[in-house]
Amino acid sequence: MNQTYLEHIKKILHEDFDAYVNTLSLPAYRGLRVNSLKLSADEFEKISPWKLELSSFHANSYYISREEREIGKHPYHIAGLIYLQEPSASSVADQLDVQPGNWVLDLCAAPGGKSSQLAASLHHTGLLVSNEIDRKRAMILLSNLERMGVGENIITSSKPDVLCREMAGCFDRVLVDAPCSGEGMFKINEQAMIDWSMEHVCACAVRQKHILDSAYEALKTNGILVYSTCTYAIEENEAVVDAFLCDHPDMELLMIDADFGRAGFDHGCVDGSKVRRIFPMDRGEGHFMAKLIKRGDAQSASLRTIRSACPKEAEAFFENQLGEMPAYTMMIQDKLYIMNHEPLQLKKTTVLRQGILAGEIVKKRFEPHHHFYMAAQNESRLLNRYEMNEEECARFLHGDVIAFHQRGYYAMCWQGHVLGFAKGDGTYLKNKLPKGLRLT
């Protein structure tokens, strides 16, 4: 083990140091969170093939056995009913106290666990903007939110300062789950402990403060900001919050009222009793969180909206699949997006997706996209459904066709949950599950 790191953590933990060191030889906690966009935790408990132990971190979060394998290949995972997530990671999003209709920004959103949890709190209302500056990680974020059925969402890949300047004063809630030195992930990534250095911790702290400064600009008056990391260093946690409060005196540190974890540490103007820490001794892999409110006046950016008429090629599809037209549509090149909110025109922010990607116009005909069928707000309204048996489900997930003597597009379901779609040609349902999602 990295002795420099151990000396560093001993100064933080004092009498709890030995207990912490003992946890490093234990396997990491494993868990899953039920996606309430698609079903309730009670409903999932009745069908779960895995033994579940409810965690104290969130009402939909469970511990699962370290011995469970290939959960990601199970139809429940592919259908977006669950998100594999270390249980303590589910504790952060609740601190934002998201209300229906809120505009919410997740500024460092990949891989998407917290964004999908925030989307569940909004439940198809308001707006969720999920940003990830790294393009490769942003594509993972997009894929995960698509699987989880998130629709009222803008996925972006921009520098935080660019996005927050263009959408200044627009958000009721902002989450900064900041990139950090990852001390809470050392059991998962042993190399990270070997590579740990105080220089890296300090570099992370500088970046975290810059991100928080951008988040400040995005907040409305009385907007709530939650700052979180998965590391233990005071330099990246209480010290960053202290520096942020010193630079923004209209921000107020609020109490995190929780029955999990433990209080943080006093540092500068930060009252340690108001922030929250989770250590492995608390049955989590490590988190810090602080909750703040903006008391000062905020000038809101004037955002323009854009709208496109629904192309004729798609109208019959929507009537056939949903029995009605979408509330709003937007065409970008040949791709058609649908949503419940007016599409925003963002000129400086790099937008990867806005709303639900319904499909695209190909050779003067409309071809639907996987996202249209996975979107939770569409799922209960889909009129053309094919309920697969277990053998058909296995074949579908491997990319095979299924014998069927009707024509048209069908949502392919197992136990009532949509896994994707297929196109009937009168003989077979031709598989439209994206190749990257098929089991091998």
pLDDT, tens digit, for every residue of 291-329? 999 999 999 999 999 988 999 999 999 999 999 999 999
User: What's the chain's length in residues?
Assistant: 440
| 177 appears as a binding residue in the annotation | yes
310 backbone dihedrals φ, ψ, rounded to 5°: -65, 125
- Residue 6 tokens, joined: 């151990």
Indicate yes or no: pTM above 0.95: yes
Residue 269: count other Cβ atoms within 10 Å of its Cβ. 13
pLDDT, tens digit, for every residue of 374-396? 999 999 999 999 999 999 999 99
pLDDT(66) > 90: no
Q: Outline which parts of the chain fall under CATH 3.40.50.150.
A: 3-12+93-294
| 10 appears as a binding residue in the annotation | no
| 132 appears as a binding residue in the annotation | yes
> Is 230 a known active-site residue?
yes
| 238 appears as a binding residue in the annotation | no
Report the CATH fold assignment for 384-440: 2.30.130
Tell me what pLDDT residue 257 has.
Answer: 87
| 112 appears as a binding residue in the annotation | yes
- Residue 219 tokens, joined: 């907040």
How would residue 1 be classed by pLDDT, with cut points 50, 70 and 90?
A: confident
Non-local (6+) Cβ contacts of 354 within 8 A are: 153, 154, 155, 330, 337, 339, 343, 344
Tell me what pLDDT residue 307 has.
Answer: 85
CATH homologous superfamily of 3-12+93-294 equals Vaccinia Virus protein VP39 (3.40.50.150)
Q: How far apart are the first and last CA of the chain?
A: 38
Which of 391, 388, 390 shows the shortest CA–CA distance to 421?
388
| 38 appears as a binding residue in the annotation | no
Question: What single-letter DSSP state applies at residue 267?
Answer: B
| 326 appears as a binding residue in the annotation | no
pLDDT, tens digit, for every residue of 121-166? 999 999 999 999 999 999 999 999 999 999 999 999 999 999 999 9
Non-local (6+) Cβ contacts of 401 within 8 A are: 422, 428, 429, 430, 431
Percent of residues, the chain, with pLDDT higher than 70:
100
pLDDT, tens digit, for every residue of 261-301? 999 999 999 999 999 999 999 999 999 999 999 999 999 99
Give SS3 for 422.
strand
Tell me what pLDDT residue 56 has.
Answer: 96
| 108 appears as a binding residue in the annotation | yes
H or E element at residue 288: strand 287-294
- Residue 194 tokens, joined: 């070997």
pLDDT, tens digit, for every residue of 177-228? 999 999 999 988 888 889 999 999 999 999 999 999 999 999 999 999 999 9
Non-local (6+) Cβ contacts of 18 within 8 A are: none
Bond before 75 cis per omega within 30 degrees: no
Instruction: Name beta bridge partners: 354.
Output: 154
Which of 436, 438, 433 shows the shortest CA–CA distance to 422?
433
Q: Yes or no: say if 349 and 138 are a contact pair by the CB < 8 Å rule.
A: no
What is the C-alpha separation between 362 and 201, in angstroms, rounded? 50
H or E element at residue 228: strand 219-229
160 backbone dihedrals φ, ψ, rounded to 5°: -55, -40
Average pLDDT, the chain: 97
Q: Which of 170, 204, 230, 393 is catalytic?
A: 230
Q: Outline which parts of the chain fall under CATH 2.30.130.60.
A: 384-440
Give SS3 for 193.
helix
Domain 30-85, CATH among 3.20.20.20, 3.40.50.300, 3.30.70.1400, 3.30.70.1170? 3.30.70.1170
Residue 221: count other Cβ atoms within 10 Å of its Cβ. 14
195: left (phi over 0), alpha (psi -120 to 50) or beta: alpha
How would residue 360 be classed by pLDDT, with cut points 50, 70 and 90?
A: very high
pLDDT(235) > 90: yes
Instruction: Name beta bridge partners: 84.
Output: 32
What is the C-alpha separation between 40 and 224, in angstroms, rounded? 27
Q: Outline which parts of the chain fall under CATH 3.30.70.1170.
A: 30-85
How would residue 28 be classed by pLDDT, with cut points 50, 70 and 90?
A: very high
